[in-house]
């Protein structure tokens, strides 16, 4: 998890600096537009400054939206893979992770071979549902 957090942190630092500079510049334009207006309401200079200030603010606002859309958090999906410890039994099932699940936890009888208390949790893992679908190790090996 820490691996995908690092590059994001670096990107957001650059963005923060850019947004900070943009804020200062737009604030400068808006302040000087205000003073320009009080000094000479008929003049056109303050209008240009106000326009620039608002344009930069608008750009920051849009930029913010764009970044937020890009750095959408990955919603990891956790699953448990069940297997049967009975020799020769190929039973394998992937189901959503349930609270209290742990690797090697016994889950009772096998629905395939009927083995007594042979069903157990073989694997617990998380995947990104947008990129990969869970695959049983059996299918992955034979494919």
Contact criterion met (CB below 8 Å) for 121 and 81? yes
Nearest CB to Zn ion, comparing residues 58 and 114:
114
Longest dimension (CA), the chain: 92
Please state the closest distance from residue 126 (CB atom) to Zn ion, in A: 26
Tokens linked to 139? 């299918």
Nearest CB to Zn ion, comparing residues 60 and 84:
84
Please state the closest distance from residue 90 (CB atom) to Zn ion, in A: 8
What does the binding site for Zn ion look like in residue numbers (CB under 5 A)?
Answer: 84, 86, 89, 91, 110, 112-113, 115
Please state the closest distance from residue 65 (CB atom) to Zn ion, in A: 53
User: Per DSSP, what are the bridge partners of residue 127?
Assistant: 77
84 φ, ψ (degrees, to nearest 5): -110, 135
């Amino acid at each position: 998890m820490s691996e995908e957090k690092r590059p994001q942190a670096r990107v957001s630092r650059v963005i923060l600096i850019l947004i900070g500079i943009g804020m200062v510049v737009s604030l400068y334009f808006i302040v000087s537009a205000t003073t320009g207006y009080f000094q000479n309401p008929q003049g056109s200079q303050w209008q240009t400054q106000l326009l620039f200030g608002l344009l930069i603010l608008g750009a920051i606002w849009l930029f913010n939206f764009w970044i937020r859309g890009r750095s959408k958090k990955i919603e990891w999906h956790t699953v448990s893979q069940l297997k049967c410890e009975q020799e020769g039994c190929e039973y394998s099932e992937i189901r959503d992770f349930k609270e209290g699940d742990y690797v090697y936890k016994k889950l009772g009888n096998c629905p395939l071979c009927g083995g007594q208390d042979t069903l157990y949790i073989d694997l617990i893992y998380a995947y990104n549902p947008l990129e990969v679908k869970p695959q049983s190790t059996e299918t992955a090996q034979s494919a």
